[in-house]
Amino acid sequence: NLVKKAKKLCAYAAVDSNLDLSKHRIIGIGSGSTVVYVAERVGQLPNKDRLVCIPTGFQSKQLILANGLNLGSIEEYPEIDIDFDGADEIDSELNCIKGGGACLLLEKLVADCSKQFILVADDRKNTGILGKHWTQGVPIEVVPSAYTKISRQLTVLGGKPTVRPGAPAKAGPVITDNGNFIIDCDFGEIPSNKLQALNDKIVAMVGVVETGLFVHMAEKAYIGNSDGTVTIVG
Ligand code: DER
């Protein structure tokens, strides 16, 4: 269908235009359905054996192995040359909301360790302001014992927090790859000049592990459009 085609187009374009094996050896592989095509494209490279791929969670690890790529860990490779990952929403300054797939902690860690961070997304995500299309809230990873305390603090901050349910797959909340809960907190539309302060306030709450607000981290975004074109931002 058109969305799948758009995801494949932007992912292939991002790899073809940015991955340079003469200077990139350690590459980050994100999580979600768009980055599936990034791993597929990298897996088609004739000299892919020169690469070591760093996962951002269980699904990402499976993608690396399924495409015959060398799997590394962020413990072995804390300096990553280039990272490709998806996004739930992207604003006009390439800030983004991530965490729709509950992998935001390792995604942010890998992005933080990367010299280059490239986003790949279909055009539904490219709305220009965070909270416009992605209305389920900012994903926040929290230690399970702190979720009620943090929910209260988020409400005081003006948010509407919900612990991400595991249903119908699981009774009780989603448990992340790190054994934590996800709170999705709706703050409505968030102007780009408010993002850093909001992120810092949330991260300062005891029991918060990380937020899905990726502020000034990405330098380029490849947007796949339903008309078959790719828009490059940044
Ligand atoms: O969870 C994430 O941040 C993922 O990157 C994900 O939300 C992107 O989603 P998609 O590529 O499946 O649209």
Cα distance from N-terminal residue to C-terminal residue, the chain: 27
Contact 91, 196 (CB under 8 A): no
Q: How confident is the model at residue 191 (pLDDT cuts 50, 70, 90)?
A: very high
What is the per-residue pLDDT across 38-58, written as a single tens digit (0 to 9) for each?
Answer: 999 999 999 999 999 999 999
What is the best residue among 9, 31, 97, 222 to mutate for testing ligand 1's pocket, by most ligand atoms within 8 Å of CB? 31
The set of catalytic residues is 107
Q: How far apart are CA 144 and CA 149, in angstroms?
A: 10
Whether the CB of 224 sits within 6 Å of ligand 1: no
pTM higher than 0.95: yes
The Cα-based distances of 70 to 52, 61, 125 in angstroms read: 5, 10, 30
Whether the CB of 34 sits within 6 Å of ligand 1: yes
Whether the CB of 31 sits within 6 Å of ligand 1: yes
Whether the CB of 33 sits within 6 Å of ligand 1: yes
pLDDT of residue 121: 98
Max alpha carbon distance in the chain (Å)?
54
Q: How confident is the model at residue 33 (pLDDT cuts 50, 70, 90)?
A: very high
| ipTM confidence score | 0.97
